[in-house]
Amino acid sequence: MEYRFLGRSGLRVSALSFGSWVTFGDQMDVDEALACMTAAWDAGVNFFDNAEVYAAGQSEIIMGQALKKAGWRREDLVVSTKIFWGGRPNPDGDGYLYGVNDKGLSRKHIVEGTDAALKRLQLDYVDLIFCHRPDVDTPIEETVWAMNHILQQGKALYWGTSEWSAAQIRRAYDFARREHLIPPTMEQPQYNMLHRDRVELEYAPLYDEIGLGTTIWSPLASGILTGKYNDGIPEGSRLTLPNYQWLRPLVEGDEGRAKLEKVRRLQPVADELGCTMAQLAIAWCLVNEDVSTVILGASRVQQVHENIAALEVVPKLTMDVLERIEEILDNRPQPEKNWRD
């Protein structure tokens, strides 16, 4: 395993990490989750990602129980959660129930949401805590103060954002610096072959200027980049799950079909390199040095093994190969875009 610094912090995270969205609670029980986490751990993964909203808290409960069963040393682990949507399951039907203060980045929800997450995870602290989305109704100053409070209490060690604009991250950072508070260390953005602009362009100034680290999500675009959707939606795959039908545009409509066509054209490149399409897509993310860690998702152990072997593909991605991939993707970020929040 390779370990990378999380931005300019002193924390080292495994270049490949493991997350629980969709899977823990909806597709996996504790033993299945532990089997996947163990496969990752045995390969050197030290970072496990979670969020209060995943399976309405069930994902944190499962990860907490799995960590207890595994008995790994706390010092060797980097565990995260993300705060924003703090709802609870609706006992009378589908979806979540939210009290008026259960959502967002108010000081109240950050404090209460963090305490509840720690209880579910059975941990005294998380290493990383993220503001899961920007909250336009709460002043950024309130959120920065609240995150500073959580860190000062030792309930989390580093804080960051997820899917914030560069301008919002910058505002939070500048305010924290001015007030001598702890600034954000990392951002959790989507990044994969089909979704690049934010990480490669919008955030570009932040890597040097504020030392931003990135823990990137959906490296396989929910599985599209494995090639498994090239000939239709396979039974049992993520896109067949009742609660995730909103992901279908990834493979449907003109845009979806264009994406699938790119994946089909990338397959021969993977074949030539002697790897799977999933490994090629993950290795491509690892080539980007501004990526601190690639958070893998997997619904079974075999996928964990396959995806972690992407580390061996990275040295095969020469400039020539990367240029061929670039031609097929045809989506190199264009600098003339004007980034606003």
Number of separate helices (H) and strands (E) present in the chain:
11, 12
CB of 165 to ligand NDP, least distance (A): 14
Residue 42 vs 208, nearer CB to ligand NDP: 42
CB of 26 to ligand NDP, least distance (A): 9
Which of 82, 110, 67, 78 lies closest to 10 in space, CA to CA? 78
Residue 118 vs 304, nearer CB to ligand NDP: 304
Annotated catalytic sites, by residue? 54
Give, for 3, the enclosing helix (H) or strand (E).
strand 3-5
**What angle is formed at CA 144 by the lines to CA 169 and CA 137, rounded to 5 degrees?**
80
Residues that bind ligand NDP (CB under 6 A): 19-23, 49, 162-163, 188, 217-223, 226, 228, 237-238, 278, 295-299, 303, 306-307
Q: In Å, how far are 26, 61, 66, 197, 319 from 155, measured between CA atoms?
A: 27, 17, 20, 33, 43
Which of 164, 63, 57, 171 lies closest to 114 in space, CA to CA? 57
CB of 215 to ligand NDP, least distance (A): 8
Only one residue has tokens 């399976």, namely: 55
Please, are residues 298 and 23 in contact by the beta-carbon 8 Å criterion?
yes
Give, for 256, the enclosing helix (H) or strand (E).
helix 253-273
CB of 178 to ligand NDP, least distance (A): 27
